[in-house]
A and B are shown apart, each in its own frame.
Chain A
Amino acid sequence: METEHDHRIVGTNPVVAIGFAIGVAGLMVLTTFLIFINSNSYKTVKQIEAGTKVARALQSSNSEYDTRSPIKADDITVYQNSVEQRLKSLDDANDFSPEKVSNAGLGLTF
């Protein structure tokens, strides 16, 4: 009964039909937008955006690094090794160890 009633309204009044179609389209756009906002793609877009912004800022203050000479795949390998060595020297587990603020670490024991 109710469906018939809806059908009659939509079918007989073009203004209502167009309004209904616009409303549905709006809701679909809204839903798609919300799905995108929550997706990894949006996260990546934000990261690229941040990267581009920082890269632009770095461009003017990058005089201490070689930005002109030709580069080969081997140079990337050398850079990777250098990064690896520097990362190895960062001992996060020790530097930010929760033990440092434990009762024992702070001398709060009997």
Chain B
Amino acid sequence: MMFLRLLAITLVAAVFLVPVNTLAVEQSNDSQLSTDQRLTNAVNDQHLTLDDATKALLNQKCQVAQVNLQKLQEKTDTIVESRINTYTTFQKEQQAIKLRMARQGVDASEIDLLIGKLQQGIDDLTLTANNYGTTLRDVITVDCIQKPEQFQAGLVVLRSRQSQLLQSANNLKKIMNDANTSTFLQLKKRLTA
């Protein structure tokens, strides 16, 4: 009886301790759906209904917005690619520093951690940018005059993903800024010792 109680307590504790992302496979099925399915899901998820004024506005101006979004897509693709290149270059440079220090017999193992943090940040930015790109393409290609709800719902998703993209880019920058006071300071101390 006591054993059963212990078992029950541990199982309850385990439910609280295990984060959902430890057990779940992080895979979005969104990419397997068609544009129409994705946007219909977005409309349903948001319980979106448009009033007449909004419909009239979208009818009148959504195609201009789609042209603007097309330009934004090209620009964002270039920016994301440039970010990824920049942080990959940092990784290469840090690896070179590590090798130079290793040749002098100085430990620079912190650099592995920094490169790992950067890699996680780069992966996150890539994934976020892919999701963003999918939504952006959906909003650009949808027939916004015939389906204003889908267009509007897509815009809501796009805004949320734009914020995630900003957060992801900020996170990468923070990793490098933090390295100034942690990793590099340690390396310098070791080199002057």
Instruction: Using known A-B contacts A71-B104, A73-B188, A107-B65, determine if residue A98 contacts B6 with beta carbons closer than 8 Å.
Output: no
9 contacts between A and B (CB under 8 A): A24-B3, A47-B113, A50-B116, A59-B99, A67-B95, A71-B97, A107-B68, A108-B65, A109-B61
Note all chain B residues with C-beta closer than 8 A to A24.
Answer: 3, 6
Query: By the criterion of a CB under 8 Å from any partner CB, how many residues of chain A are at the interface?
Result: 64
Of chain B, the residue at the smallest CB distance from A77 is B188
* Contact between chains at B119 and A50 (CB < 8 Å): yes
A5 with B116, Cβ < 8 A, contacts A68-B100, A71-B101 known: no
B143 within 8 A of A: no
Interface size on B, residues (CB 8 A): 68
Number of A-B contacts (CB under 8 A): 182
**Known contacts A31-B13, A55-B98, A108-B58, A98 near B188 by CB under 8 Å:** no
| B103, closest chain A residue (CB) | A68
A47 B18 Cβ-Cβ under 8 A:
no
Query: Could you tell me if A76 and B18 are in contact, using CB atoms closer than 8 angstroms?
Result: no
Residue of B whose beta carbon sits closest to that of A49: B116
- Where the two chains meet, the residues of A that have a C-beta atom closer than 8 Å to any C-beta of B are 2-3, 5-6, 20, 23-24, 27, 30-31, 34-35, 37-38, 44, 46-55, 58-59, 61-62, 64-73, 75-77, 79-80, 83-84, 86-87, 90, 92-93, 95-98, 100-102, 105-110
- The interface residues of chain B lying within 8 Å CB-to-CB of A96 are 76, 79, 162, 165-166, 169
A67 to chain B, nearest CB (A): 4
| Top-6 shortest CB links A-B | A51-B116, A47-B116, A65-B96, A50-B116, A51-B112, A51-B115
B95 near A76 with CB under 8 A, answer no
A86 to B97, CA, bound (A): 18
Query: Whole-angstrom distance from the CB of B171 to the nearest CB of chain A?
Result: 10
Interface check B34, CB cutoff 8 A:
no
Contact between chains at B116 and A76 (CB < 8 Å): no
- A46, A84, A98: the one contacting B116 at CB < 8 Å is A46
Q: Which of A49, A80, A95 contacts B169 (CB 8 A)?
A: A95
